[in-house]
Structure 1
Amino acid sequence: MLNINVSTFGFETFKLCIQILGTPMSWLQRDLTDFDLKLLQVFRTVVECGGFTAAETELGISRSTISIHMSSLETRLGMRLCQRGRQGFSLTREGQAVFNALLSLSEAHEEFRHQVASINQDLSGELVLLAADQLDPPRQLHIAQALRRIKQQAPDLQIHFDLLPLQQIELALLKNQAHLALMPGYRRIDGLAYAHAFSTPIYLCCGATHPLFEVADDALDIARLAEFETVHPGVNINPEGRKLLQKLKTSGRAYQFDSRLSMILSGAYLGFMPSAISAPFLAQRQLRYLLPETFNYPFEQFYVSRKQPREPEKVTLALEALQGEN
């Protein structure tokens, strides 16, 4: 949700955005009130939520109140911003232009914050780190050590570390909403930089209740394995992994390793798991590898950032901390 502060953005920046749209300047020839800012905030939230109903929860106000606010904003701007009715919510051409201007305004706000923060040599504000996959215990320890080094060097930083789907991570990096991510690099996106983090082997597994659990490897072959359903990761993986999956009967889908593990342990599916996560289950004979010499591929992870980030010093700090010990 956008929190617009004219004193932070600069009123001239806001006027420029509106002038580009051709909005009547009579609205801008007076001081912008808190109510005006509230209306703009409501408008952006409605657009990002895709309509009035979905915006009710986000804004904490009723649909009828949202409708009143939108009508007030349209009256102030002298233009219709959206169509709403039985056919659903959609922006008019003018509404899309106003929304684009608000996005530019938000970027100007972030750039202003960065420039002010850079006056002080001490790093402060947020450092947003993301990961796309469940971390095994060795990797969790590595991340913990890196976070400790970051806080030692920049104690005023507020670290945010979350797990998100790949596409959301890529979008967050491109929009400067995150500084660094740990994720697979099978798909390379223009505008993002990739630095190799680590590689770990992934093996085809079955659970203790699966029909193949007690079958010796010398009695198994590709044709036999292909008789049974195999969990698909649900995303693109490296070429070696793709070739192996093409030989099997992929059925269920599970990207995250913890959910995939549950499907394998059910005995209904085969599936690929990293060695570090599967090791304790192997020791307890709850899992076993199937033809491990053949059915394995490397699971590669990369540290990914925007090629030209808004806050490069934070990216550098995080990357150096993470690459310090492998």
Structure 2
Amino acid sequence: MFADRQLTDFDLKLLQVFRTVVECGGFSAAETELNVSLSAISTYMSDLETRLGLTLCRRGRQGFALTREGQSVYAAILELNDAHDSFRHAIAKVSRDLSGELTILCSDQLDQPRQQHLAKALHYIHMQAPTVEVSIDLLPLQQIELALLKNQAHMALMPGYRQMDGLAYQPAFSTPIYLCCGKAHPLFKQPDTDITEAALKDFPAVHPGVNINPDGRKLLQLLQPQAKAYQFDARLSLILSGAYLGFLPEALAHPYIATGELRFIQPEHFHYPFEQFWVTRRQPREPEKVELALKAVNWHHQ
């Protein structure tokens, strides 16, 4: 039993394997995350259960499920990781120099204006804390929210249509989104005056697959969704195919408008604002890093 002795490095490894299995929702799903085989994960889990003298989970036709003991052990692992992170934070605070990783997440690919803004913010961060290791990644919205709440990320750039308790939202960008069609689409050569709302129902459209603001929802209800793509680059491919209508940001669509590969459909009517926010945890574990990141993104405006 762990309670009778010091935790070894191997014990900690087993506990982290168990945590990954739980958060991935099963052994098979954890293979990619851990980069080990299914048989190795099974062996690790058996070793952990033997060392603890507990049955942590059950697998069967009904899927993966934690036992009551497994739920308690998982909660204890989270507390252990919190204590470890708090220790690292305390040491960094004593040294008065920010160090370690600062993680920034984005929910979609950045257009040129946002790329430039983020580049200036990263320059500020490097000048203020040159030893900080900046990590930037692109993740789905739900994973970003979870990462922020679990203190696995410091800040994110994402839509704020669904604002969650425990997270703080600061307005960042508002980009117009327009209804587009590709050159091969039947509506491409029709003048806007001949395109009615009823006519749009006859053509397949791309849905973002997530909740958007009320103006956008009203416009989407006028279309016939037959494809789903949240990421703008994937949505762009579907629209360029000529098979689908769909909404794109002005900055992303503009180069294709200029070359005649895309067109806007009634842009004065079929558009809505795509609003993004800088999002942080309200009570982050490393407030100095979060404060630095927020100062960096506001520095450009100032």
Overall identity of the aligned pairs, in %: 65
1:173-226 deviations in whole A, cap 9, x for unaligned? Answer: 111111111111111111111111111111111111111111111222212222
Partner of 1:176: 151
Partner of 2:91: 116
Q: Which amino acid aligns with 1:271?
A: G
Match of 1:300 among 261, 267, 275: 275
1:49 Cα deviation after fit: 4.0
5 Å matches for 1:147-296?
A: 147-296=122-271
Distance 1:278 1:109, change over 3 A: same
Distance 1:179 1:219, change over 3 A: same
Distance 1:217 1:118, change over 3 A: same
Partner of 1:127: 102
Distance 1:65 1:288, change over 3 A: closer
Distance 1:58 1:257, change over 3 A: closer
Distance 1:61 1:245, change over 3 A: closer
User: Which whole-Å CA distance do the structure 2 matches of 1:257 and 1:172 have between them?
Assistant: 22
1:54 Cα deviation after fit: 4.5
1:92 Cα deviation after fit: 2.1
CA contact (8 A) 1:74 1:80 kept: yes
Q: Which amino acid aligns with 1:185?
A: G
Partner of 2:292: 317
Partner SS state of residue 317, structure 1:
helix
1:103 Cα deviation after fit: 1.4
User: Larger Cα Rg: Structure 1 or Structure 2?
Assistant: 1
Alignment: residue pair count:
301
The CA RMSD measured in Å over matched residues stands at 2.1
Structure 2: segments with no counterpart, 5+ residues: none
Distance 1:112 1:280, change over 3 A: same
1:206-259 deviations in whole A, cap 9, x for unaligned? Answer: 111111111111222212222211111111111111111111222211111111
CA contact (8 A) 1:231 1:270 kept: yes
TM-score, normalised on structure 1?
0.85
User: Which whole-Å CA distance do the structure 1 matches of 2:164 and 2:237 have between them?
Assistant: 32
CA contact (8 A) 1:197 1:323 kept: no
CA contact (8 A) 1:128 1:179 kept: yes
1:111-162 deviations in whole A, cap 9, x for unaligned? Answer: 1111111112221111100111221112111111111111011100100011
